[in-house]
Amino acid sequence: AWSAQEGNEVTVTIMKGFLVQLVFHHRLNDESFCDAFRKMSQALTLINEDLVVDEVFFKCLLAAILQQKNKVSKSCRDVVVDTWLGWLERSKSSLIAPGHSIFLDLMNEWSAMGNMVMPCDHLATVISKVADIAGVMEMWSKEEFSTIKTKYDHLFTLLPEEHAEEWKKLIEKPKE
């Protein structure tokens, strides 16, 4: 027998697939894409609050975004980043969830493309936001955080020295 929960799971799966296909088949420099991505993401969030635990979805989304290379406009980049941060913020498990880890992969990839997609100053701001949302400072020295910590460490090497030093001070700051 078909249940409402099963129907919801099917709907969520279809919407995730549609969102990945939307990214894969559209240019990330088109304003209509930004609007469609924002609306689909909001709808998906309404029916699936803890989206960040779905590793397959985020790996597919990452691949679709990265196939665009450096053709990502600033406004579309901001929509993708803000949407992803919103997913992390609403999550009950954002700290060690695949959505957090794969978001850091996206930041690393975009940063590796130079300042065209993710300038260093903007990267520093985004890292601060995601670290705040995910509660990174509280978990920095814990073993279960080591994989994600490695990704943050790599991102710190991409930051200008003054931003990297700020992070080091925050991380090494003794707990009060």
| Phi, psi for 3 (deg, rounded to 5) | -115, 165
Rounded distance, CA 40 to CA 22, Å? 9
Q: How many residues does the structure list for the chain?
A: 176
Give the type of residue at 97: A
Q: At what angle do helices 120-134 and 74-90 cross, to 10 degrees?
A: 10
- Looking at residue 108, its pLDDT comes to 92
H helices of the chain, where?
4-25, 31-47, 55-66, 74-90, 98-112, 120-134, 136-139, 146-158, 161-172
Cβ atoms < 10 Å from Cβ of 169? 9
Question: Where residue 156 falls among pLDDT bands split at 50, 70, 90?
Answer: confident
Of 1-15, 22-36, 98-112, give the lowest mean pLDDT range.
1-15
Residues 6+ apart with CB under 8 A from 162: none
Question: Where residue 136 falls among pLDDT bands split at 50, 70, 90?
Answer: confident
pLDDT digits (tens, 9 = 90+) for 25-41: 776 667 788 888 888 88
- Looking at residue 6, its pLDDT comes to 55
Across residues 86-96, what is the average pLDDT?
A: 79
Token readout for 45 is 């969030």
Summary mean pLDDT of the chain: 81
- Looking at residue 4, its pLDDT comes to 44
Give the type of residue at 168: K
